[in-house]
Amino acid sequence: MNIPSHIFTIFGASGDLTRRKILPAFYHLFAGGMIGPDCIIVGAGRKKMTDEEFRELTLEALLEAGLDGGEGAAKWCTGCVFYQCLGEGSPEDYGRLGERLDELENAHNIPGNRIFYLALPPDAFPSVIGNIGEAGLSGSAGWSRLVIEKPFGRDLESAMKLNDHVHRWFDEDSIYRIDHYLGKETVQNLLVFRFANAMFESVWNRDRIDHIQITVAESLGVERRAGYYDAAGAVRDMIQNHIAQLLTLITMEVPAAFEAGSIMQEKIKILRSIMPIRPENIVLGQYDAGKIDGKEVPGFLEEDGISAGSATPTFAAVRLYIDTWRWKGTPIYIRTGKRMPAKTTQIVVVFERPPVCFFQTIEGCALRSNVLNITLQPDESFTLSFDVKKPGEPFTLEPHDFHFSYADAFGRLPDAYETLLLDIMTGDQTLFVHADEVEASWKLFEPAIDPDLPVARYAAGTWGPGKAAELLIRDGHSWSVRKGR
């Protein structure tokens, strides 16, 4: 793979995301030969550090990630990893950053190609983007790209304002709104699974699919993100971005080509085709104390850093309908929550049963729906259930599975950030989110962030409030989660 030489500047260089994900992903790419020594990393932040101190932080991050922090990593750090203090973030501080980038480009013969990665809290985005623009850092001799972590805005109005602000300094084709779920191999394979296998695409419609479920469950609480999460909640943290992206990929029409623009157009069409969400199709919840894996865990209001009496939802479930020829009348159920029994991300496609029940038992119809389960984490896999006759008498049908596991077939999968970082460096926007997608998604899910909506309670270690189950029960369905092997 031909990666152009460039400088990759990480704002928020000493933060949790940089340590846990970005730096280990960079070293994986370097150790695997995907990037070379002409990919220079510059950490930028308010904390005072020398180059050597930031290199020590980088080596610690590699060890924490279970990587080799030995001689090879130390050599990579010495040649490729640098740090620039931003102090209070004044124009002079950004001017000094620009001088440092110029020096490194001259020293390493880099033709002015620059990437700016904002690994920062969302409220810092506008000021940092403005400072980058005002200091002329994006006006170098080569190309410049801006990478922004989610969430992009807090609602439709703020997202539109942030888009306008970013577009003052960067063209849309230079902006990479990152959603790490899109970097997962299984997510990318949704397109291959649907559009490269005619046997599935031919039944991917309202005539053959009874309903679809998307579950993104976390067993952890707010951990070290209490301040952010208390201001965000489940809809802003997961549904408006991660789940919206999964929803579009599983329901979009066939794109004209496998390239960013065509895929983006089809995703936006889906978001704009979803019928307005009514309050009776929204269930919000907040976890109380309970047990997970036999251990007592505190309720949300007892977590450190959560404001007293907070009504922030830690769970959300929504029923949707897509008003298109393909999906008219097919319900789609989505849910996400913290302090649930397991950490898992699954898409469940439930097919229609045969119209006539040919196989009868004394209990009644023996037929079940075929179910396709796409597990994105922790065991990336595809499982299709089907009925077979159990040997002997009486006549009995028994469900069995076709199962494909990525780990069994391919071993270790690349971390999502490795995939996304490579795409940023090569200029491939296929797995990133366009400005129009962001605004369409916020417009769709704004009813679910209405502060007047009731927030029910649920015990930690359960699958959310009882009303979430009622969303499906009223349609004759129930939530489905497949246990890992």
List, in order, residues 6 or more apart from 318 with CB less than 8 Å away.
Answer: 239, 277, 281, 282, 283, 333, 334, 335, 445, 448
Domain ranges of the chain: 6-149, 182-473
Provide the terminal-to-terminal Cα distance of the chain, rounded to the nearest Å. 35
Query: What pLDDT, on the 0 to 100 scale, is given for residue 259?
Result: 84
Structure tokens, 88: 């209070």
Q: What is the rounded CA–CA span in Å between residue 8 and residue 1?
A: 18
Residue tagged active-site, from 6, 28, 180, 242: 242
For 156-198, give the DSSP string: HHHHHHHHHHHHTTS-GGGEEEE-GGGGSHHHHHHHHHHHS-H
Tell me what percent of the residues of the chain surpass a pLDDT of 90. Answer: 67
Its CATH architecture, for the domain 182-473, is 2-Layer Sandwich (3.30)
Please indicate whether residue 477 is annotated as part of the active site. Answer: no
Query: What pLDDT, on the 0 to 100 scale, is given for residue 353?
Result: 81
Q: Hey, what CATH topology would domain 6-149 get?
A: Rossmann fold (3.40.50)
Query: What pLDDT, on the 0 to 100 scale, is given for residue 358?
Result: 66
In this structure, the chain runs to a length of 485
Mean pLDDT of the chain: 90
User: Dihedral (C-alpha) 110, 115, 119, 123: value to the nearest 10 degrees?
Assistant: 130
Helices (H) and strands (E) in the chain, counts: 17, 19
Query: What pLDDT, on the 0 to 100 scale, is given for residue 224?
Result: 78
pLDDT in tens, 251-262: 999 999 888 889
Give the containing element (helix H, strand E) for 29. Answer: helix 23-31
What pTM does this model have? 0.90
| Confidence band of 484 (pLDDT split at 50, 70, 90) | low
